[in-house]
Amino acid sequence: MALAITGARLNGEQVCLRTADGLIEELGAGVEPRADDDRIDATGLALIPGLVNAHTHAAMTLFRGYADDLPLMEWLEQHIWPAERRLEADDVYWGTRLACLEMARAGTIRFWDMYWKQAATARAVKDAGMRAIVGAPLIDGKDPDQAPRLLAKARRTIEEIEEAGQGAVRPALAPHAIYTVSEPSLRGIAEISAERDVPVEIHLSETEQEVTDCIAETGLRPAQYLDRTGLLGPRTVLAHCVWLDQAEIELIVERGATMVTNPVANLKLAVGGVFPYAAARAAGAEIALGTDGAGSNNSLDMLDDVKAFALIQKHVAADPAAVTAAEAWEIATGQRAELVGGGPLAAGAPADFALARLDAPSLALGELDAGLVYAADASAIRMTVVAGRVVYRQGDRAELDEVLAHAREQAARLGLVRS
């Protein structure tokens, strides 16, 4: 099926975008729809690149609003982990379906996921029509004896995710963190990643405790230690990156790894620090943005996070010009991190994009970038297209109602009921 989006605004022009085989075939002011195209009249809509959520735990939509406002360890140990031990594939499937819809309705086209029951995640992504990079959390409790078993599991999950995702999903390796995975396992994961050309997602330097512990145990700061394991490379995405020092930033840039900032989750869990964006940008880092899971955000709406990113960075720099709207928008759409994102919309690129309403109060006046970053919410998104298929159309509720009914059932099964 080929789409023809007609009359959309792009950089001050009215353009037509035609898709074929999931790619943008033609895009421009002079492009004409063909007779057998499925036409979408985009008059009054802006064509925008989709948002890329570079770090989340999608199925945690089931945990939204469950046990909020608690200290991190109490939240995890007394609430989240006990509930997660009861997780079954159907929970993850419906939680992820809900996450996909939430992301699509706010213009997100692709996400990086790390969660249990990864085959169910991959199936949900495929069924939702989204794209994702999916990794199973790899944890060995820092017991080196567990490494062989963990690495066997790592290899197995790659096949499993690939099979379940049927082309919609790229498998990743997701060692949870340096404080939950032994060094032999980290080294082994680096080898599998290189051998299979599979990306790696890992939490890095979310809390100051992680840094203190790492130095105490290894004499190295987290990024330096990760480098020793071979995992700091161009295939690796580092979530959080709050407590990096200058030498670590330079090392990460040298190795070509991507830094992902999760501003809302960092503020909500009160990790105490802020991603050192100014230093990372000055060093030429690859930078992307993520929501983290709905348990610690509690939204998967990247329009929320791009605003929070710009605001907190302006605040810590004590400079309203520290981040511009255009710059924040590029980061949120993956255009500042090669591994995570893509280039601008152009012929030959994947047909992944959104259409934003220029008659939304947030976008009706003023610069479009500023409107998207500082003012827009999901109600400004008219439609989201992934791989040339409409995955969200404002006003259609049938899929959402079905998914919500299932998600409610699964949440009830897990005992996550409203008080």
Residues 366 and 93 sit within 8 Å (Cβ to Cβ) = no
Q: Residue type at 285? A: A
Q: Smaller CB distance to a second copy: residue 207 or 333?
A: 207
Residues 140 and 146 sit within 8 Å (Cβ to Cβ) = yes
Q: Smaller CB distance to a second copy: residue 4 or 264?
A: 264
Q: Smaller CB distance to a second copy: residue 31 or 326?
A: 326
Residues 333 and 53 sit within 8 Å (Cβ to Cβ) = no
CA 125 to CA 101: how far, in whole Å?
Answer: 10
Provide, rounded to whole angstroms, the least separation between the CB of residue 295 and a second copy: 9
Provide, rounded to whole angstroms, the least separation between the CB of residue 18 and a second copy: 26
Provide, rounded to whole angstroms, the least separation between the CB of residue 200 and a second copy: 28
Q: Smaller CB distance to a second copy: residue 157 or 410?
A: 410
Q: Residue type at 199? A: P
Burial 210-247 (b: 16+ CB within 10 A, else e): bbeebeeeeeebbbbbbbebbbbbebbbbbbbbbbbee
CA 40 to CA 3: how far, in whole Å?
Answer: 7
Q: Smaller CB distance to a second copy: residue 239 or 269?
A: 269
298 prior amide bond cis, ω within 30: yes
Largest CA distance in the chain: 68
Provide, rounded to whole angstroms, the least separation between the CB of residue 143 and a second copy: 30
CA dist 2 to 5, 34, 214, 346, 353, Å? 10, 9, 52, 16, 15
Extract the tokens encoding 278: 């100014």
Q: Smaller CB distance to a second copy: residue 68 or 163?
A: 68
Provide, rounded to whole angstroms, the least separation between the CB of residue 5 and a second copy: 21
CA dist 272 to 68, 266, 402, Å? 18, 8, 39
Provide, rounded to whole angstroms, the least separation between the CB of residue 311 and a second copy: 4
Provide, rounded to whole angstroms, the least separation between the CB of residue 2 and a second copy: 30
Q: Smaller CB distance to a second copy: residue 136 or 372?
A: 372
